[in-house]
Amino acid sequence: MVLSTVRCGTSLRLLRVDAGRGLRSRLTAMGLVPGAEIEVVANHAGGPLVVSVDGTRIVLGRGMAERIFVG
């Protein structure tokens, strides 16, 4: 399932990122690596997503969130 479709308050594990090297590198620097536990803090239609990874909140645009697969 794609991260952009997950409801608020849901905790999931990051499975993979389908993106180029630049975006993968950027997400890795933020702690979004395969196996990381992610909690969706905010997911409002049309706006950015807010996720929590290891106690840190990260804001992701829709385009980025659609490339992150979770389960």
Distance, in Å, from the CA atom of 63 to the CA atom of 54, rounded to the nearest integer, reads 22
Q: Is the dihedral of CA 41, 51, 44, 14 positive or negative?
A: negative
Q: Say what the pLDDT of residue 27 is.
A: 95
| pLDDT of residue 63 exceeding 90 | yes
Mean pLDDT of 8-16: 96
Instruction: List pLDDT tens digits, range 19-49.
Output: 999 999 999 999 999 999 999 999 998 899 9
Q: Say what the pLDDT of residue 45 is.
A: 83
Q: Say what the pLDDT of residue 60 is.
A: 96
Domains belonging to the chain, first-starting first, are: 3-70 (2.30.30.90)
| pLDDT of residue 67 exceeding 90 | yes
3-state secondary structure of 37: strand
